[in-house]
Amino acid sequence: MKQTILNLKRMKKLKTTAAVFAAATVVLFAVSCAKEYLDISKTNIIGVKRTINATAALPQGGDKAYLDYADGRKVKWEQTDALNINGTNVALSGLSADNTTASFTSTIHAISSGGNDIYWAVYPAALAGVSSGSSIHNDYTASALTVNFPSKQTYNSSANALSGNTLMAGYANVPAGTERVVFQMRNLGTVLKLTLKADASASNKLVTKIVFTSSGKLAGKFTTNTAFSTITPDNTATTELTVHLKSGNNNYIDIATQKDVYVILPPLVGQTLTMRIYNQYNGWTERVANSTALLRNHIYTNTISNVAFEKTGFSVSDSTMVLFSPGNLQWSATGGGTTSTTHTVAGGGIAPGTWRFAENQWDFVGDSTYGKVYANGVKCDNALISSSYTGWIDLFGWATSGWDNTAIDHDALNFQPWAITNYNTGNTNNRFRYGPSLTMTDITLEGTSANYDWGVYNAIYNPQTQTTDAPGTWRMLSANEWSYVLRIRGLTDGSAPASTVCGTASARYVRARIHGCNGLILFPDYYVHPAGIELVDINAATSSFVANTLTDAQWAQMENAGCVFLPAAGYRVSTSVTSHILGYWTITTIRSSWDAYSFTVAANIFDFSNGSFRYVGKSLRLAKEIN
């Protein structure tokens, strides 16, 4: 059914509860109701189905369910709203003149308890996660209700409403057979109003997300009683919450001018909140606040007016810094990609010829004998690369962006992403027919040959922002730039700094195993390594991958601090894939008709010195400049 929205109309300003944070700090965030749901794993003994005439009320006094915002916003019902009553979705109707009450008639299951009928009402209906008419599950009981505060949420500052980020519930205990039921709705969480403004010196003022961590529980299952006086987390609840920020169609908000953001949190008492605010280039600033009490159904304010960001990008020269793409580049010939990472386009499905970044930095496709298995257990196969293959591929010959320049460069025949030709034609200008020939003005993937660069020529779907980036947003690095990242940063010659990690100064990279994948971790400039994660053999070119085996949770901390992971996805010759090798193309070739530069990392190899035949299928990790 339609996603439910609780509209917050403008009205006169009402007083707000005083702030209780001891330390000044603010962050923006809000909850998308599409992310909020109830756990529905089990069923419960149910009573009879009854037809009830019900009213959902937002009362004006006492333990009120609406929120009086300092900026005049107030909760009111809309015709598009719906509740979930004991597992059945019910559309609201019959709104009152002031939109604070809404009525409906529906046949729903009751919970039988001591001769009475028990009803739980949950808003938005999407919180229940079940279709109309489903049985009551185990978390609907006569005395308790369990809800799931989401760990990933989205806030759009352009909306006139809080877009459903109010978690509400109502309870009714009536004699069996009672037709008229009234639900006095209650808020389950607290509201933190964050006011942000960038420091005048900040070079980038576009905020993309806020990551909250706490000594208390912020996300997962919470149980409330019938009086809604207690909201108790269970032992699976987590202490981290990420809020993604939008403004209209933009995946950021601009805090050059002051912005207010409303954050919905579970009630907290005597807990510490750490808020890390990220800008568009993955720079961040961190604030810590101690709360004496963040009580249910109250608003608390927190303000910070000097938001500035540390740089967490990667210097690729003395003057240029980049941010790497969130995963390796992948391509679908037919639009039938079968891995767990998907996105839809107009008309549904995946468009043929779609380029995207992998959802996770450790993701790679693999081959028929050593496939990378995705979350849904489906395996793709780089060895089956072709123009009709229905899976995803991520090992590409050099300069195979799909740009057809054969009208000008008659020898550059193998430009398609599925190209597998490895026959030496003997043509002295272009031995294997990949990339610009020696007769061209630019034989690297720059200048007049820039469209051979996959990022320059193609629009690419970015799962991190859930948008498609325009051609030219991303680009490949040159061999010199990769050499700067891996060999030069942090040296004492005045080049860009790299940080000390686990006792190693000028830390630039380390071999590691993450999520079962061997690969190379890159440390950004100005990196602050998370406490408690020990690494060995930093900057060691031929060390062991397994020596630094990290859990997903440890990697998440390092990734949030700006680290990049390059998986050893193998390489392909024709339709034969060799595994366990890390090989990434650059845009660079010397005046050779058959070679281009990549860098290679294997068990005892860390090599920049030699070119690779252009027909070899290798991985691609793109970057974009941030200064």
| Predicted pLDDT of residue 101 | 85
| Cα–Cα nearest to 107, from 87, 126, 123, 122 | 87
Angle in degrees, CA 82, 83, 84, rounded to 5? 130
CA atoms within 13 A on the CB side of 444: 17
| Predicted pLDDT of residue 284 | 82
| Cα–Cα nearest to 530, from 489, 508, 499, 491 | 499
Mean pLDDT by 10 residues, the chain (627 residues): 24 24 28 29 52 71 38 66 85 84 88 88 69 53 83 77 64 91 85 86 85 91 88 91 89 92 85 87 80 76 83 85 94 66 48 91 86 66 90 95 97 97 94 96 97 98 86 96 89 62 90 94 89 94 92 92 93 92 92 89 71 94 88
- Cis upstream peptide for 352 (omega within 30°): no
| Predicted pLDDT of residue 58 | 67
List the beta strands (DSSP E) in 436-593: 460-462, 467-469, 509-514, 517-522, 549-550, 564-567, 571-573, 576-578, 582-585
Beta bridge partners of 291: 21
Taking the C-alpha atoms of residue 439 and residue 250, their distance in angstroms, rounded to an integer, is 43
Which string of b and e fits 230-254 if b means at least 16 CB within 10 Å?
A: ebebeeebebbbbbbbbbeebbbbe
Contact 341, 323 (CB under 8 A): no
pTM, two decimals, is 0.64
Contact 621, 329 (CB under 8 A): yes
Helix, strand, coil shares of the chain, percent, nearest 5, are 5, 35, 55
| Cα–Cα nearest to 33, from 264, 223, 251, 224 | 264
Instruction: Name the residue with tokens 């599950």.
Output: 137
Give the dihedral sign, CA 369/374/377/380. negative
